[in-house]
Structure 1
Amino acid sequence: PKNAKTILAAGSIIQDHSDMDVALIKYRVAAVHTPNSAQLWNNIGMCFFGKTKYVAAIACLKRALYLDPFEWIISYNLGLVHLNTGQYASAFHYFSASINLKPDFP
């Protein structure tokens, strides 16, 4: 597929099946067409999180947050990464931001 949204969707499905390396290849193709997509950078960040590359995950998620500061899931994912790295104050900050953006999340 050549459509960036289609490539992003394919990468997301591959990522859901825990094949992070193949998903990252798909996302690399999508990034050529849509480098300013917050959803793309969020997914790339979570791929790196799945590979336990936490510094890269945080960098990508912060880029996603810069591109779309009101997307609650990005803050939530940043909270998860910080929680896993033992940075509890930062995790609390991002989880709080996520809850404030989407208080009805179950």
Structure 2
Amino acid sequence: NCINKDPNNANFWCSIGILYYAIGQFHDSLDAYSRAIRLNPYLWEVWYDLGVLYEACGDEEQQFKDAIDAFTQADRLRPGYAAIEYKLKQLSGQQVDLNKNLPKWLEPELPFQQTPQQNPLPQPQAQFPLEQPLVQ
């Protein structure tokens, strides 16, 4: 409904990209992020989310380069943000300083447990414990 009322709202398209990502529809997610960027290329959140998408689909070297490019653009728009710096260092193979004040959801020892307000992009590969095996 929001898109029908305001199809030129980049924030709406970013939210749609997040929803598509969450259900594993990566091509649709990419389309939504691309549209958000065309509408407003100055939203660092869209660039960050695009970087996470490329990283998640990173089975080719080009996708990792695209992820780095997206995180670099996010860093230009929001310099000094720990989550972006962490991703850039992680993808470029640099040693990550875990003593730096990183958001809790970036600490590798902790499971991913955040609300949408705290985390710009949910992880689609949630793992749920099974009470009984699926195949016996």
State the TM bucket, normalised to the shorter chain. Answer: 0.7 to 0.9
- Provide the TM-score with structure 2 as the length reference: 0.61
Equivalent residue letter for 1:39: E
The residue aligned with 1:78 is 88
Q: 1:41 to 1:104 in 2, by over 3 A?
A: closer
Higher helix residue share: 1
CA pair 103-27 structure 1, distance change in 2 beyond 3 A = closer
What residue identity is the alignment partner of 1:41? Answer: W
Q: Alpha-carbon deviation of 1:103?
A: 4.8
Q: Is the 8 A contact 2:54 2:67 kept in 1?
A: yes
What amino acid is the match of 2:13? I
CA distance in 1, matches of 2:27, 2:74: 20
Q: Secondary structure at the match of 2:37?
A: helix
TM-score, normalised via structure 1 length: 0.75
**1:62 equivalent in structure 2:** 72
Residue in 1 aligned with 2:36? 30
How far apart are residue 20 of structure 1 and its match? Answer: 1.7
More relative contact order in 1 or in 2 (CA 8 Å, sep 6+)? 2
In terms of Rg, which structure is larger? 2
**Percent of matched pairs sharing the same residue:** 18
Q: Deviations over 1:60-79 (max 9, x none)?
A: 10111111013222123224
CA shift for structure 1 position 99:
5.5
CA gap of 1:13–1:77, structure 2 versus 1, over 3 A, is farther
Q: Deviations over 1:25-82 (max 9, x none)?
A: 0011111111011111111111111111101100110111111013222123224433
Against the structure 1 CA distance between its residues 64 and 104, is the aligned structure 2 distance closer, same or farther, given a 3 Å change threshold?
closer
